[in-house]
Copies of this chain bind each other. A is one copy, B any other.
Amino acid sequence: DLDHSLEPARAIVGNVGDLMVDAIGELTPGTTVAAGIDYVVRTHPVTPLTYLYIVDEEKHLLGVVAMRDLLLARPGQILQDIMVPAPFVFAPDTILPEALKSALAKRHRVYPVVDSSNKLLGMVYSWRLFEYVATELSGQLGATVGLDREERSSTPIWRAFLMRHPWLQVNLLTAFVAAFVVGLFEDTIAQIVVLAVFLPVLAGQSGNTGCQALAITLRSLAVGELEEHSMTQLLRKEVVLGALNGFFVGLVAAAAMYFYSTMTGAADALTLALVVLIAMVGACIGSGLFGVLVPLTLRRFGADPAMASSIFLTTFTDILGMGLMLFLATSLLL
């Protein structure tokens, strides 16, 4: 059922633990400021220390001291007196969209990472978070059409071919399914050829409507915007939007069908126009639904929610758009 795919957002695979490095600058709370400065001076090779981490004997994080506060303190003070207690920390399993949101709000240069008992495990630089997320996001568009996240414009042509081709064969297989559905109505098309002319219109509209829903779903997943509650809301919203968009686009398409049928002398122009309108509304509602469900389903199976999502989505929207029109025409006109 749906419930399992409604867990908190995890578009970007990985968590803070994956980007964590060993902490530097661990000192005890009783250390004097003078000794602290001495520690900073003697750190070789010179590393860009931003904070000192104040820990007890069991490595529990008690507080942090910024370089600036060290500078402003009297040499005889102890670090416990000038540290910021209970600093902002990440857990190693904090998911990256959530960590990114915190980093944008806090704007620290580096964050301590602690376990559930507040033991210091390491630290994570904010630039690593940003770099990772930017890399993920720049791969999202390509991933929907089976483009490897690693491919660059400089990737050699044979490697690019081997990376892209398998997904094109998958796309072909899914296109055969859509073709099979169209094939079921060969007799209908033979009798009302104008329907063939409107096949690309139905496929194009439902595909684009679905891709809009897909894009907003992936965007929300990537920036950690979706929670269990709003996921259901998003589904409802995309269904309503699909109905609205399908209706107003369908009206124009129906008018076009009416004039085209009348001009080419096809029988029952008005019924054909109605078929196009109903098919468009139905197809766009389904497209909104699939646009949300395809990435959620991919994620549920542990896959990248963007990966080949557009290929799977257009299979559904092709079948729905073209199948519905041909089915309605067969039912109402033959």
Q: Is A262 interfacial (CB 8 A cutoff)?
A: no
Q: Is A164 interfacial (CB 8 A cutoff)?
A: yes
Q: If the complex has contacts A134-B137, A208-B168, are A200 and B322 also in contact, measured as CB distance less than 8 A? A: yes
Residues of B within 8 A of A153 (CB): 216-217, 219-220, 225-226, 230, 233-234, 237
Bound-state CA distance A98–B3 (Å) is 43
Interface residues as binary, A186-219 with B (CB distance below 8 Å gives 1, 0 otherwise)? 1001100110111111011101110110011111
Q: Is A138 interfacial (CB 8 A cutoff)?
A: yes
CB of A189 within 8 A of CB of B186, answer no
Nearest-neighbor residue (CB-CB) of A50 within chain B: B109
Q: Is A144 interfacial (CB 8 A cutoff)?
A: yes
Determine the interface band of chain A, counting residues with CB < 8 A from chain B: 35 or more
CB of B161 within 8 A of CB of A241, answer yes
| Partner-binding segment picked from A54-62, A83-91, A171-179, A267-275 | A171-179
CB of A165 within 8 A of CB of B248, answer yes
A138-166 residues at the B interface, CB under 8 angstroms: 138-142, 144-147, 151-154, 157, 160-161, 164-165
Residues of B within 8 A of A30 (CB): none
**A residues apposed to B, CB below 8 Å:** 37, 40-41, 48-49, 67-68, 70-72, 100, 103-104, 107, 109, 125-127, 130-131, 133-134, 137-142, 144-147, 151-154, 157, 160-161, 164-165, 167-169, 171-172, 174-176, 178-179, 182-183, 186, 189-190, 193-194, 196-201, 203-205, 207-209, 211-212, 215-220, 222-223, 225-226, 230, 233-234, 237, 240-241, 244-245, 248-249, 252-253, 256, 260, 264, 306, 310-311, 314, 318, 322
